[in-house]
């Protein structure tokens, strides 16, 4: 019988370690806990069962920080911390280059933002090799190695080349693209073969899983798929893999508890006192072109034009969290957002103090964010594409009175779970989003409560701990502890010169069985 993941040494591998390292005014190193669902989910398990977290500190390679000591300083004893040092050139080529100028835009269906520089691929291989060596040096033979996200896809192949025979799993937190989009990637075969090295690959949604399986069928030969439900079994040559969809959740109980705190309630009430007799619309997004902020602002403007009765009755609070401003694309995006906010406010502001948009460009402290969630009658979550988008789930969870409305992009991963309660929109449809804003502002109370109650039940049912448990259960059931020894180097890849796209439909059908 295979030991359960909780009984093995758990090795978490992610681009960053679970704390943010910096220096205080005196130049001393200091660390503070990182935020995010992965850290929230994994820390209790690692504290209780022990294990290892492998990642980059965020510091330059020449810095001699002791991650283990820093972990102790923020109160996280009980598990090992293994740093992977990156040079400035590797950060530029691997992180800013391949990860965020190729994979990020391509997997979000925005190929025009891609910079397919061959040097980026070289750095991606180099850094993934560093991570693989850190895993091989620190993982016991009976470890479960759980690798996370698009930065580290190629770790699978690198581990095989090192001869490390470990039980491995991978989870992709961003979307997986369709075959037409994935085909644009010059290194498509290499990344696909590397993904096949993991015993289990997990995706956020059924659609992401479907796209992955379709890419396997189109780009490799001898592919067969069996099973049904949350986890499928894929066979490529003599290689067997489990493939599942596991929508990540949030810590529902913790968010709901903190949202009910007196301090949060008081700050939410203060917002309404500052903006009396208004319905508050709220958007909070990291500065990124995938979030659809410009289109959302244009839709809000269209709503004020098409439905003038909204004027002086609604206010949009748009928070943008700074990100990657040193990259020209992001700097230009910030400029465009601020110009559009100014244009809309200049066009519609009226005497008496009404300003259509209150724009905030900074990170919010946790209490302020919860207060905005509680104060807002309508949340606008309209990304062009997102793996999941936890803002939608956080907003609903914090809406403890259940008297509010979520306007949600149909291209967010969360749409699969929340479409029964949210007002679903196509973010590219300016008039459609404008009408949805109007409908949200005018929705009867009974309908608002019914819709929100339905979404909160779903978020509570599939919370963060359900995500961890369902993934571990799939690993334990589908990934044998005794690893296969006869793995083909090519995993049934097409022969050189053979173009699967140009194959006849009948031939392709025969290849995939």
Cβ proximity of 480 and 225 under 8 Å:
no
Pairing, β 405-409 against β 423-425: parallel
> How far apart are the C-alpha atoms of 309 and 61, rounded to whole Å?
58
CB-count exposure of residue 368 (10 Å: 0-12, 13-18, 19+): middle
Q: For the chain, what is the radius of gyration of the CA atoms?
A: 24
Residue 149 designated active-site: no
Q: In 486-503, which positions are buried (b, 16+ CB within 10 angstroms) versus exposed (e)? A: ebeeebbbbeeeeebeeb
Separation between Cα atoms, residue 512 and residue 320, nearest integer Å: 46
Candidates 84, 67, 80; CA nearest to 11 is 80
Which of the residues 120, 148, 151, 173 is marked catalytic? 173
Give 442's Cβ-side CA count (13 Å radius).
10
The per-type count for the chain, helices as H runs and strands as E runs, is: 20, 17
Instruction: Name the one residue in this structure whose structure tokens are 């949030």.
Output: 250
Give the closest residue to 303 by CA, choosing from 288, 322, 290, 316: 316
137 is catalytic: no
Rounded Cα gap, residues 24 and 196, in angstroms: 43
Return d(Cα 96, Cα 100) in angstroms, integer: 5
Q: Which of 208, 386, 435, 463 is catalytic?
A: 386
Backbone angles phi, psi at 146, to 5 degrees: -110, 110
Distance, in Å, from the CA atom of 96 to the CA atom of 83, rounded to the nearest integer, reads 19
Locate 338 and state its tokens. Answer: 């601020």
CA dihedral sign, ordered 44, 459, 35, 157: positive
Strands (DSSP E) contained in 4-106 are 10-16, 19-23, 29-33, 51-56, 80-83
- Annotated catalytic residues are 173, 386
């Amino acid at each position: 019988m295979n030991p359960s993941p909780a009984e093995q040494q758990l090795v978490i591998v992610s681009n960053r370690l679970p704390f943010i390292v910096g220096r205080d005014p005196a130049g001393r190193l200091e660390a503070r806990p990182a935020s995010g669902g992965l850290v929230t989910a994994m820390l209790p398990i690692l504290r209780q069962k022990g294990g290892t977290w492998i990642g980059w500190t965020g510091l330059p390679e020449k810095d001699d920080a002791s991650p283990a000591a820093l972990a102790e300083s923020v109160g996280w004893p009980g598990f090992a911390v293994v740093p992977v040092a990156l040079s400035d050139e590797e950060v530029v080529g691997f992180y800013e280059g391949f990860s965020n100028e190729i994979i990020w835009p391509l997997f979000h269906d925005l190929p025009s933002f891609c910079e397919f520089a061959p040097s980026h691929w070289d750095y991606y291989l180099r850094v993934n090799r560093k991570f693989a060596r850190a895993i091989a040096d620190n993982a016991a033979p009976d470890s479960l190695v759980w690798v996370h996200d698009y930065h580290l896809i190629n770790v699978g192949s690198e581990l095989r080349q090192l001869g490390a025979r470990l039980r491995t799993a991978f989870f992709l937190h961003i979307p997986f693209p369709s075959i037409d989009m994935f085909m644009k990637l010059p290194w498509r075969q290499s990344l696909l073969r590397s993904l096949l090295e993991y015993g289990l690959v997990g995706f956020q949604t059924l659609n992401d899983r479907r796209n992955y399986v379709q890419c396997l069928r189109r780009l490799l030969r001898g592919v067969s798929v069996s099973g049904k439900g949350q986890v499928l079994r894929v066979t490529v040559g003599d290689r067997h893999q489990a493939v599942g969809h596991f929508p990540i959740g949030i810590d529902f109980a913790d968010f709901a508890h903190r949202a009910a705190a007196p301090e949060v309630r008081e700050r939410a009430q203060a917002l309404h006192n500052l903006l009396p007799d208004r319905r508050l619309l709220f958007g909070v997004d990291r500065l990124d072109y995938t979030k659809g902020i410009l289109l959302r602002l244009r839709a809000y403007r269209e709503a004020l034009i098409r439905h003038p009765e909204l004027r002086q009755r609604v206010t949009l609070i748009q928070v943008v969290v700074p990100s990657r401003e040193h990259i020209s694309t992001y700097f230009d995006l910030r400029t465009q957002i601020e110009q559009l906010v100014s244009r809309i406010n200049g066009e519609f502001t009226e005497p008496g103090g009404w300003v259509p948009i209150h724009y905030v460009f900074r990170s919010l402290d946790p209490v302020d964010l919860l207060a905005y969630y509680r104060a807002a009658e309508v949340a606008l979550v309209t990304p062009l594409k997102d793996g999941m988008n936890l803002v939608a789930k956080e907003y609903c969870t914090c809406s403890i009175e259940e008297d509010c409305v979520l306007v949600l992009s149909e291209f967010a991963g969360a749409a699969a779970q929340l479409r029964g309660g949210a007002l679903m929109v196509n973010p590219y449809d300016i008039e459609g989003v404008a009408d949805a804003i109007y409908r949200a502002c005018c929705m009867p109370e009974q309908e608002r409560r019914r819709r929100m109650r339905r979404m909160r039940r779903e978020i509570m049912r599939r919370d963060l701990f359900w995500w961890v448990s369902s993934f571990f259960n799939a690993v334990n059931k589908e990934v044998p502890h005794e690893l296969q020894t006869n793995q083909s180097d090519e995993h049934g890849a097409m022969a050189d010169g053979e173009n699967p796209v140009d194959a006849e439909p009948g031939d392709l059908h025969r290849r995939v069985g």
